[in-house]
Amino acid sequence: MTEQTHAFQAEVSRLLHIVVHSLYSEKEIFLRELISNASDACDRLRYLALTRPELLDGGGELLVTLEADSDHGTLVIADNGIGMNREELAENLGTIARSGTAAFLQQLSGDAVRDMSLIGQFGVGFYSAFMVASRVDVYSRKAGETQGWHWSSEGSGTFSIGEAADVARGTRILLRLREDAREFLERASLERIVRRYSDHIALPILLREGGKEERLNRAAALWTRPRAEISPEQYTDFYRHVSHGFDEPWATIHQRAEGKIEYAALLFIPSQPPFDLFNPDRKHAVKLYVRRVFITDDCQDLIPPYLRFLRGIVDSEDLPLNVSREMLQENPVLARIRHALVKRVFSELETRAKEDQAGYLAFWRQFGAVLKEGIYEDFENRERILKLARFQSSGSDGLISLEEYLARMKPGQEAIYFIAADRIDAALRSPQIEGFRAKGVEVLLLADPVDDFWVGTGLSYEGKPFRSVTRAGADLDRIAADPEQAQTQPAEAPDESESATLIALFRQSLGDQVKDVRLSRRLTDSPVCLVAAEGDMDMHLARVLRRARQIEGETPRILEINGTHPLIRQLAAMARAGGQAERIGEAAHLLLDQARILEGEAPADPGAFARRLADAVARALVA
């Protein structure tokens, strides 16, 4: 078969341009990425060889080798791992088969340090080779196959693939270095980079020079060593190896369990969120080993989805070495390990929340939206998550805990009040919280997508139920007014009989567009608002589900009117005087549309709304 030339996937071409022209401040990271890929290839071969030992024939000890040729300006990174065939070379090196690529590329900018940290997180570390190389040649033969292949590119938008003879099992990457990258041919530079970034790779990394070989790393699994022997710098380097990040870990959990089950875990909580944190698949990135042998990085039963920000490894002594992914799904040992790991992570978070409040608040701002998914999904641990949760509220500029909320509850208050919205500022502007603010009652402001779901599960905290302020039954009458807020209290609402005629005309005019019209006890400044009837779906949740096309149509809401507002008082007087039914009907429709707009929804009939508004303005100008 002759050599064929192919175009890179569009996203790869753009990425290569960014890599070559924008990411030069940390060029040395290319070596970490290529060594990491080589290590993964050896790990995968070792696992496959458990059931197919013939795959290891003729390859010798699994290892990674480096060869530098100063005369020709080339650097070779080679491994004798699983290797790739033609299709895998085209797929792995010509496309980015990872969801979220477009969003990832939109985040790239000229900020070299930040952008460099993104490369590994999205599985595109191979392309970092073009930061230092004018041309990259890859020679590879897949284990168990006889045909070798040659992949080549100058990073200019195309690559070629053709057959190659005399290719050893594994992958050999030859970089033709640019003049400004010749430092990576020096022995001292290679040794420094390997020991900084790859010292804990659990297989030998050899430097071949002048017919001799020298090991550059210790090739010892870091998680098997006692914590007292490991420095913070070594933990950080290992974290960067497993996370492909550049940040430092916010927390390190190094645990060894002995007894009924034995395992070692080295887990990290990042200080910066990975860019795939909110991918729909919600997969974690913790690797599973069995007796120091890599098994999989796709064991989703190992860590619950709401802890997917964790990075690191778990090494079990009790799982069978040839365990398959199907067996893992139902393995009771794995279930016990998962339970213990979750418990340990919560213990770490609880300690941090007490001893490092500022650091914990920074963690919550980064990962709280993910951790709150556990309130909805994990019945066993939801109480612990609620204690760890921090919220924005109408009564505080910063984040508060539920313990702080309970301590500030008003006499007569029997519920934890909240409002869900798309944004915090929208929640603060909502008319539904006016009466609560006037009485000094704190309202939790919820703006994360998961909030709509966990608050609707009938939860309570310390015996206090969560209650939406957008429900019609949110009764403020039993809550004592805050003396400090007395000057902001609304005037005594008029007797309902004064507004009875107006309410009747509103009901008649609006018909089935609303479920009811009634006087409000919650409004102080706004003339109207919409609220959900008891038993109906929360208004914001319904809006979210309509956007996702999970429900069709709209549920009529209750229109509450503020009997103390000047506009409502004037309309009530017109209704009592009689003869103004048509104008009052027009006002009812305008006010309903106003209430819908305040809820972030469009008027039911934008054309009719515009006409009524123009008529109202014209009458006001004439008067």
pLDDT in tens, 141-200: 999 999 999 999 988 778 899 999 999 999 999 999 999 899 999 999 999 988 877 877
Residue 226 domain-assigned (yes or no): yes
Q: Are residues 132 and 18 in the same domain?
A: yes
Q: Which of 581, 601, 592 is nearest to 613 (CA)?
A: 592
Residue 327's contacts (CB-CB under 8 Å, 6 or more residues apart) are 320
Does residue 136 sit in the same domain as residue 206? yes
Provide the 10 A C-beta neighbour count for residue 110.
10
Q: Range with the lowest mean pLDDT among 1-15, 133-147, 215-229, 273-287?
A: 1-15
Q: What is the CATH number of the domain that holds 572?
A: 1.20.120.790
Cα–Cα distance, 584 to 616 (Å, whole number):
11
CB atoms within 10 A of CB 228: 5
What span, in angstroms and rounded, lies between the C-alpha atoms of 32 and 261? 34
Same domain, 526 and 480: no
| pLDDT at site 99 | 33
- Look at residues 271, 289, 144 and name the one whose alpha carbon lies nearest to residue 221: 289
Task: Please give the model's pTM, rounded to 2 decimal places.
Answer: 0.72
In the predicted structure, residue 562 carries a pLDDT above the cut 60? yes
Three-state secondary structure readout of 270-311:
ECCCCCCCCCCCCCCEEEEEECCEEEECCCCCCCCHHHCCCE
- pLDDT of 214 reads 93
Q: Is residue 404 exposed (0-12), middle (13-18) or buried (19+ Cβ within 10 Å)? A: middle
Answer whether residue 559 is part of any domain: yes
Min mean pLDDT across 24-33, 49-58, 607-616 is at: 24-33
Do residues 87 and 178 both lie within one domain? yes
Position 24 scores a pLDDT of 42
Cα(200)–Cα(230) distance, integer angstroms: 11
Average pLDDT over residues 480-498: 58
- Comparison of pLDDT for 596 and 107, the residue scoring more: 596
Q: What percent of the chain has pLDDT over 70?
A: 87
Among 157-171, 288-302, 360-374, 549-563, the range with the most confident prediction by mean pLDDT is 360-374
Residues in the chain: 623
DSSP 532: B
Query: One-letter amino acid identity for 425?
Result: D
pLDDT of 458 higher than 90: no
Q: Are residues 322 and 340 in the same domain?
A: yes
Whether 37 is covered by a domain: the verdict is: yes
Which stretches does DSSP call E strand in 477-521? Answer: 514-519
Domain end residue (candidates: 200, 215, 230): 215
Q: Are residues 578 and 464 in the same domain?
A: no
**385 lies in some domain:** no
**DSSP single-letter state for residue 118:** H
Q: What is the reported pLDDT for 486? A: 47
Residue 114 phi/psi, 5-degree rounding, is: -70, -45
Q: Which of 358, 380, 413 is the last residue of a domain?
A: 358
* Mean pLDDT in residue range 86-94: 85
For every residue of 432-483, DSSP letters joined together read GGHHHHHTT---EEE-STTHHHHGGG--EETTEEEEETTBTT---TTSPPPG
Q: Encoding tokens for residue 37?
A: 């890929």
Question: By percentage, how much of the chain surpasses pLDDT 90?
Answer: 51
Report the CATH number at residue 324. 3.30.230.80
- Main-chain dihedrals φ then ψ at residue 281, nearest 5 degrees: -70, -20
- The last residue of a domain, from among 188, 215, 242: 215
> CA dist 609 to 296, 591, 605, 606, 614, Å?
59, 10, 6, 5, 9
Residue 373 lies in a domain: no
Pair 316, 396 in one domain: no
**Least confident stretch, 66-80, 132-146, 351-365, 537-551:** 537-551
Q: What is the pLDDT of residue 246?
A: 80
Give residue 498's identity as a one-letter amino acid code: E
CB contact set of 553 (below 8 Å; sequence gap of 6+):
none
Lowest mean pLDDT among 33-47, 79-93, 157-171, 470-484: 470-484
pLDDT of residue 540: 85
Residue 350 sits in the same domain as residue 484: no
Residue range of the domain that includes 334: 222-358
DSSP state of 605: S
Residue 484 pLDDT exceeds 80:
no
CATH assignment at residue 138: 3.30.565.10
Considering the domain architecture, whether residues 236 and 298 belong to the same structural domain is answered as: yes
H, E, C per residue of 428-442? HHCHHHHHHHHCCCC
Backbone angles phi, psi at 273, to 5 degrees: -70, 140
Task: Give the per-residue pLDDT at 405.
Answer: 96
Please give the Cα distance from 513 to 502 (Å, whole number): 17
Three-state DSSP class for 613?
Answer: helix
Q: Looking at residues 301-320, what average pLDDT do you find?
A: 92
Q: Do 265 and 350 have their domain in common? A: yes
Q: Is the separation of the CB atoms in 266 and 313 below 8 Å? A: yes
Band of pLDDT at residue 10, cut at 50, 70 and 90:
low
Number of domains in the chain: 4
Enumerate residues 6+ apart whose C-beta is below 8 A from 96: 9, 11, 12, 15, 122, 123, 124
Q: Is residue 544 part of a domain?
A: no
Sorting pLDDT into bands at 50, 70 and 90, what band is 317? confident
- CATH number, position 446: 3.40.50.11260
Residue 255 pLDDT greater than 90, yes or no: yes
| pLDDT, tens only, 96-134 | 434 333 444 454 444 433 343 333 443 457 888 888 999
pLDDT of residue 482: 64
Query: Is 564's pLDDT higher than 70?
Result: yes
Place of tokens 């390190």: 252
Same domain for 465 and 434, yes or no, is yes
Does residue 374 form part of some domain? no
Q: Which residue has the higher pLDDT, 535 or 391?
A: 391
Q: For the chain, give the mean pLDDT.
A: 85
Can you give the pLDDT at residue 32? Answer: 82
Does residue 306 lie within any of the structural domains? yes
Please check whether residues 426 and 349 belong to one and the same domain. Answer: no
